[in-house]
């Protein structure tokens, strides 16, 4: 695998010169994880940055009670682990593979050295972090001020792709996963989904969920 090309296909690394990309790639390694396998675990010490090459992972926080809150699902081109690499603190969330996943693992000390030496790359990193903070701020706003139905509706559109005049959620979305993502019970999600099905707003084809017509504003 061309690790240099893999890095340069990620927006955050576009500012790297060929020499810097080569230096970073030389210390990086390719790792493969199977479905259900943890990449990192919350509160662990791990000085690595991860670049998604293929597959899908689920990023979540968990409580001592066992309750989980899904923060995001990430696919090829996504980056995670940069916060702990920068502040040298423990992992703020767990990351588990949803399917067979291939990752580029970058050593934390090499990454920090590159940030110190390359101002353009440092700015690119700041922009990437700013986008993530903005996304998390929007998510927190939704959890605090929107009803469970509005959170579910927003999440469906967020996960969907426009295809042949319909919005299609191609990623497998169980009711439990949706509940973990929007912060409510699985039973509530099941009830709301059933009502949308009966109302002709959505339909399910295999593992795809299709939004047939605009979802109602309120439940």
Same domain, 29 and 102: yes
Q: What is the pLDDT of residue 21?
A: 85
Q: Among 105, 123, 144, give the residue marking a domain's end.
A: 144
H/E stretch holding 51 reads strand 48-54
Copy the structure tokens of residue 125. 């990193």
pLDDT along the chain (219 residues), means of 10: 80 81 88 94 92 92 83 89 90 93 92 87 84 79 77 91 89 88 90 94 92 90
Residue 219 lies in a domain: no
94 found inside a domain? yes
CATH number at residue 161: 1.10.10.10
Task: State whether 30 and 93 are in the same domain.
Answer: yes
- Give pLDDT, residue 145: 60
Residue that is last in its domain, among 116, 144, 172:
144
β partners of residue 32: 102
* 59, two tokens: 């990023």
The domain spanning residue 24 has which CATH number?
2.60.120.10
How many domains is the chain built from?
2
pLDDT on residue 168: 94
Q: 46 and 61 in one domain? A: yes
- Count H helices and E strands in the chain, helices first: 8, 12
Q: Are residues 135 and 158 both part of a single domain? A: no
Closest CA to 159 of 207, 112, 118: 207
Q: Same domain for 168 and 74?
A: no
Assess if residue 105 is contained within a domain: yes
Please report the sign of the dihedral spanned by the C-alpha atoms of residue 41, residue 136, residue 72, residue 196: positive
Degrees to nearest 5, angle at CA 90 with 116 and 55: 85
Report if residue 50 sits inside a domain.
yes
Shared-domain flag, residues 61 and 89: yes
In this structure, the answer to whether residues 205 and 128 fall within a common structural domain is: no
Contact, 212 vs 200, CB < 8 A?
Answer: yes
Angle at 65 between CA 194 and CA 180, to 5 degrees: 30
Domain housing 169: 147-211
Residue 217 placed within a domain: no
């Amino acid at each position: 695998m061309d690790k240099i090309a893999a890095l340069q296909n990620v927006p955050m690394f576009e500012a790297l010169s060929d020499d810097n990309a080569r230096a970073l790639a030389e210390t990086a390694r390719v790792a493969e994880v199977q479905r259900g396998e943890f990449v990192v675990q919350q509160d662990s010490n791990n000085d690595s940055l991860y670049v998604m090459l293929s597959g899908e992972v689920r990023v979540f926080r968990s409580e001592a009670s066992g309750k989980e809150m899904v923060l995001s699902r990430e696919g090829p081109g996504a980056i995670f682990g940069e916060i702990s690499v920068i502040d040298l603190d423990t992992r703020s969330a767990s990351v588990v593979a949803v399917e067979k996943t291939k990752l580029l693992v970058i050593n934390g000390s090499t990454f920090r050295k590159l940030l110190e030496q390359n101002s353009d790359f440092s700015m690119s990193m700041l922009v990437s972090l700013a986008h993530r903070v903005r996304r998390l701020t929007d998510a927190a706003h939704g959890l605090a001020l929107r009803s469970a139905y509005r959170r579910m509706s927003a999440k469906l559109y967020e996960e969907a792709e426009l295809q042949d005049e319909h919005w299609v959620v191609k990623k497998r979305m169980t009711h439990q996963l949706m509940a973990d993502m929007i912060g409510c019970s699985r039973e509530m999600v099941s009830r709301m989904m059933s009502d949308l099905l009966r109302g002709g707003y959505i339909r399910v084809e295999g593992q795809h969920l299709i939004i047939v017509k605009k979802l109602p504003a309120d439940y």
